[in-house]
Amino acid sequence: MKNQITNYGLTLALKSLLRFYPIPEPRVFRGAGSIQELARHVASDNLESVLLITSKYFVAEKKIDPIIEVFRSRGIHVEIFSDVPPNPSLDIVERGAELCRSKNCGAIYAFGGGSVIDAAKGIAAQVGSNAPARKLIGLFKVKGRALPLFVVPTTSGSGSEVTNAAVLSDPETHQKLFLFDHKIVPLAIALDPNATLTLPPKFTAATGMDALTHAIESYISKISDKRSEELAESAISTIFEYLPKAYNEGQGLDAREKMAVASYEAGIAFSRSGLGFVHAISHQITAFYGIPHGTANAVILPHVLRASISKAAPALAKLARATGIADEGKGDEPLADLFIEQVRALSIQLDLPTAFPEMKEDDFETIAGNAIKEASFNFPVPKMLNSEDCIEILNMLKAGEFSEEDSASIEFPPVEEDSRISKNVAVA
């Protein structure tokens, strides 16, 4: 009951905050070659020098050369910062900010996955507000303006290219620290399929299922609105059609671009409407057993949807009808059930696991408690699950059981409406 009251208060607070202080959306450059188009856009701003943040891998593979070429041809100095490890710490942010200041960089161009983007957000915030990185942790702590930030995501899933959040780590305790501020949302992004071509199939599948989870959790959230619902519907249709293609044929530019757009749309959707219990449980599963975020979400998603069906069935049925993913069934609940089965079948089609046997029953009470706490204070969930519900889900995750018969043989209906993908995207 206490958790329900907390969650009700959170829902009201989030709804008012986002209504009166909406998260800004970046300008979008889309398609093959948009990496350079974004660089030309940045270069038009009378810059002396720019900080290019990326990983050592992309430097070695010369993936950033076309970007450097655009800046140099316009007489702009490019300072490369490629010392970004996974889970970047406050120290990395301090070092990047110092380099940025010493070279008089007027903008940041980030090319990379979640860690690179998070570090870039932290550096943009630190340079702009001129405060120690630690003082920026928390909600709306960035003073002044962040340095202009431009981003190319090299995975399709996290949505980090559009969110107002950065996850950093404490260099001493290794604890995760969260920076939330609308000022760190990139000004413009490029969704270029060339940037994700090297993503291996396993990561393509997991990150794509992360994007699907973002879209579905935002759709069934208690604060979903018209725009977040339209974007989520578009993202979900796209993911069902194009994620298997991107997984099976990684060099296909069309599928890669569609997935980049779907990830972006799902990112905007969850920025507006929040996430839910899949993420609350998944964060614990990752912390306890080191299971990657997208993989954990893919396996947990159908279980949480099934456990939430008494409240989420109307939204899931609406989603099934809107996307054409499941169009049989008379009432909301049978239709919602069909949709859940399709989600599970997609995960199986991508060769993702169906169970985590390494989980330990002794941990379940703590995991359930932590997940309920996270959901109560952070996510406007359609149904507040209790400890019993969570432990039941954890038992099924460990055993690889599901409350319905195996759905691996389900056929996917074709999704034809390409037009719905572009109509929601501000193409530059």
Backbone φ and ψ for 29, nearest 5 degrees, come out as: -105, 130
Judged by CB, which is closer to Fe ion: 181, or 210? 210
Judged by CB, which is closer to Fe ion: 161, or 210? 210
Is the distance from CB of 204 to CB of 43 less than 8 angstroms?
Answer: no
251: amino acid identity, one letter: Q
How many residues touch Fe ion under the rule CB under 5 A: the total is 1
Task: Give the separation between CA 241 and CA 257, rounded to whole angstroms.
Answer: 13
Task: Give the separation between CA 102 and CA 97, rounded to whole angstroms.
Answer: 9
Build a one-symbol-per-residue string for 380-399: x at contacts with Fe ion by CB under 5 A, - elsewhere: --------------------
Residues 6+ apart with CB under 8 A from 65: none
Question: In angstroms, what is the minimal distance from the CB of 42 to Fe ion?
Answer: 28
Judged by CB, which is closer to Fe ion: 192, or 210? 210
Question: In angstroms, what is the minimal distance from the CB of 134 to Fe ion?
Answer: 25
Question: In angstroms, what is the minimal distance from the CB of 163 to Fe ion?
Answer: 10
Question: In angstroms, what is the minimal distance from the CB of 359 to Fe ion?
Answer: 20
Residue identified by tokens 């995760």 is 176
Judged by CB, which is closer to Fe ion: 210, or 265? 210
Question: In angstroms, what is the minimal distance from the CB of 211 to Fe ion?
Answer: 8
Judged by CB, which is closer to Fe ion: 191, or 278? 278
Question: In angstroms, what is the minimal distance from the CB of 403 to Fe ion?
Answer: 24
Judged by CB, which is closer to Fe ion: 210, or 233? 210
**DSSP secondary structure string for all residues of 126-177:** HHHHTS-GGGG-EES---S-PPPEEEEESSSSS-TTT-SEEEEE-TTT--EE
Build a one-symbol-per-residue string for 179-218: x at contacts with Fe ion by CB under 5 A, - elsewhere: -------------------------------x--------
Which residue number has the CB closest to Fe ion?
A: 210
Judged by CB, which is closer to Fe ion: 127, or 215? 215
Question: In angstroms, what is the minimal distance from the CB of 9 to Fe ion?
Answer: 24
Tokens of 262: 């779907």
- CA proximity to 57, closest of 127, 155, 133, 126: 155
Question: In angstroms, what is the minimal distance from the CB of 279 to Fe ion?
Answer: 6
Judged by CB, which is closer to Fe ion: 210, or 337? 210
Question: What are the contacts of 390-395 at 24+ separation with CB within 8 A?
Answer: 390/277, 390/281, 390/364, 391/364, 391/365, 392/307, 393/281, 393/300, 393/303, 393/304, 393/307, 394/281, 394/359, 394/364, 394/367, 394/368, 395/361, 395/364
Residues that bind Fe ion (CB under 5 A): 210
